[in-house]
Structure 1
Amino acid sequence: MTHSLRFLSLLSLLGLLATGQSRAQSGPYASTQARTAALVTTPAAAPVPPMVPAAPAISPDSVFINPEVRPQFVGGDKAFKAYLAKSIRYPQQALQRHVSGRVLVNFVLNAQGKVTDAHVISGPGSGLNDEALRLVWLMPPWEPARVNGQPVRVACTVPISFTTER
């Protein structure tokens, strides 16, 4: 009886191996020859269009740091500097104390190019931080950032320099 049990076990094992081999030839790991043979024997197969990866959906809540197309102040850097020069009001407190320096303001531009979530990262204080924030909040809309051709929200940081020598 043990010989017949061994024989049946061996026969079952061979059956599993044969099944696995036929599945391997028809599955995703099939050899090139097996796939080619299947293509040759298939009558009038329709041509398969090339696979084009679909652009991933962009969540409206996403905030990009490095988009494909960066946002731009309308008119470029020159227009941005002109806006600052025209709109800046040097705080009296900073003038009296001869405080100057650079304020870094971080903000998010929404998909329409408008400023949201502005805050000061660093600055000398004495009213300069508040003035820099005021300037950022009052900026006209920018040309928005783009990913896959769609306007998106993007995080921005701009330096605003203040000097008492005016």
Structure 2
Amino acid sequence: MLAKLNTGKLKVFPFLFFFLIVNNCIYSQKKTDNLDEKLPYKTVREVEVKPEFPGGMEKFYKFVGTNFKISDKEPSGKIFAQFIIETDGTLSDIEIWKNEVGIISGQEFIRVLQKCPKWIPASDNGKPVRVIYMLPITLQGIK
């Protein structure tokens, strides 16, 4: 009878051991995958010196207006782009966050942002930092 009791424990032990390993791996992964603990970039509100387009936003919108190719039948609306301004002022991870106009206009806005000159990067404690930036443009279609 004692031998039967030991074999029952031996059958449960490998299962329990496997469960503990899997559970520990899942818990560890959840803890290290938490992006709230450390983001690879900061928001504009978190930095001392905000990023700036050379010459200011008026020059930026002039740059966009000059380089944005729009068709005669383009509808009116807003496009919101989100991107990262790197520590050297280049733009990366450009994506359209919201588009009220259409896919072609969104792709064109991405093309123009990729062509954009370097920005003056944000800084915190005197050091350049990466920041995420969201920017709208408004298209006024020709009627």
The TM-score bracket by the shorter chain reads: 0.5 to 0.7
- 3-state secondary structure, aligned to 2:141: coil
Alpha-carbon shift at residue 62 of structure 1 (Å): 3.1
Q: State the 4+ residue runs in structure 1 displaced beyond 3 angstroms.
A: none
Report the counterpart of residue 124 of structure 2 in structure 1: 147
Contact 1:99 1:126 in 2 (8 A): no
- AA aligned to 1:108 is I
Between structure 1 and structure 2, the one with the greater Rg is 1
User: Following superposition of structure 1 onto structure 2, how do residues 12-161 of structure 1 map, counting pairs within 5 Å?
Assistant: 62-65=40-43, 66=45, 67-90=47-70, 92=71, 95-96=72-73, 98-123=74-99, 124-161=101-138
5+ residue gaps in structure 2? 1-38
Alpha-carbon shift at residue 126 of structure 1 (Å): 4.4
State the identity %. Answer: 26
TM-score (norm. length: structure 1): 0.57
Q: Structure 1 residues 74, 87: closer, same or farther in 2, change over 3 A?
A: same
Number of matched residues? 102
Question: Which string of whole-angstrom CA distances, capped at 9 and with x for unpartnered residues, describes residues 45-70 of structure 1?
Answer: xxxxxxxxxxxxxxxx7301021110
5+ residue gaps in structure 1? 1-60
The structure with higher relative contact order (CA 8 Å, sep 6+) is 2
Q: CA RMSD in A?
A: 1.7
Q: Partners in 1 of 2:40 and 2:103 — Cα distance?
A: 35
TM-score (norm. length: structure 2): 0.66
